[in-house]
Amino acid sequence: MVSLDVDVTVFREGVHGDCSFTYLVGDVDVSGQRLVEITKESLQVGLDQCGPGKPFSGIGNAIENYLKRTEFLPVPSFTGHGIGQYFHGPPDIYPCKNHYPGVMTAGMVFTVEPAVSEGGTDLEILEDGWTAVTRDNSRSAQFEHTILITDDGYEALTI
């Protein structure tokens, strides 16, 4: 499988935005296609846990419970994060079971960004200081949206 994860960060008028999408390139086997589809679905599973009064930990708990029904694993090293004037701040949004404290309130802006692996979840950062790969060289995928918590749920600010 050849895939490309494009992670775009925008800084405009003093505010950050962040999103990520994994694209399949060329002739991808069924297992690779499934990995990307399950990862995309895990993002939606996490987003379905978002709204005022809901616990941050519910996002990762739901994603991991969903992935347990598949052959894939969440990569806990990559987390969603608060976003706005400050990039990569609290809250931490884990893609796996966790006990992160607090609940969402209307007006909060953060990302949900599960990374999912078909093998191991231990990572290595390559010499460029940016590229992350699994130590066992298993394939992975990632999707991310920036969202705003509204009075009655959430609004995706990225597509």
Domains assigned to the chain: 2-156 (3.90.230.10)
3-class SS string, 63-115: HHHHHCCCCCEECCCCCEEECCCCCCEEEEECCCCCCCCCECCCCCEEEECCE
CA 143 and chain centroid, separation: 5
Residue of 73, 48, 76 whose CA lies nearest to 62 = 48
- Supply the pLDDT for residue 51: 98
CB of 98 closer than 8 Å to CB of 134 = no
**Distance separating alpha carbons of residues 44 and 71, to the nearest angstrom:** 18
Mention every residue, 6+ apart, whose C-beta is less than 8 A from residue 12.
none
What is the full per-residue pLDDT of the chain (159 aa) written as tens digits? 567 788 888 888 888 888 999 999 999 999 999 999 999 999 999 999 999 999 999 999 999 999 999 999 999 999 999 998 878 889 999 999 999 999 999 999 999 999 999 999 999 999 999 888 999 999 999 999 999 999 999 999 987
Q: Please report where in the chains the tokens 């994860």 appear, as a residue.
A: 5
- Supply the pLDDT for residue 2: 61
**Distance separating alpha carbons of residues 93 and 2, to the nearest angstrom:** 28
Helix (H) or strand (E) holding 141: strand 140-142
